[in-house]
A and B are shown apart, each in its own frame.
Chain A
């Protein structure tokens, strides 16, 4: 059974940076596209970013484009999210998720981490 474990969350001032990690185990990490999804307190789910299994393609939500960068190290079974120029509205629980539908024309998320809370506040 696969497992994802996020780390790196915390409290950060507006305008600063933070890096999240997602350690994968129990499945062949390099076979799957990976995503970040976030959830602001009391709000719904918001897709943030995707990175193809081989790193060949990536995409971002409009709300984070130009500020966030997704990357992965398949040799370490780890997904990353570098978050720069953070704003108060980036405050959320950030989840990494495995794309069960990798290789098809859609994406769907079957494994999720427990989430890591990022709070942007002065």
Chain B
């Protein structure tokens, strides 16, 4: 079992819809959880990080962590075609980040 698992997608939504992305993880020894966005042929870009359970909001983006069920979510409101990218969830333990496989998102105008 991989430490961090994501549905690879692609996830296709119409412009303006809410994008819902999920990750599960298998090891409880993690404190920080991150979401990265990666455009084609670019390096990953840090979107948000969260610590402990609960929600964190930043503009159109909301990250949610449920440590009891080992579940990480990212919601994108009012999605735009520019949100089309691969979204990677990640967790940090010690000095190491572990990444999920990424979910490809396509927002259609």
A and B interact physically: no
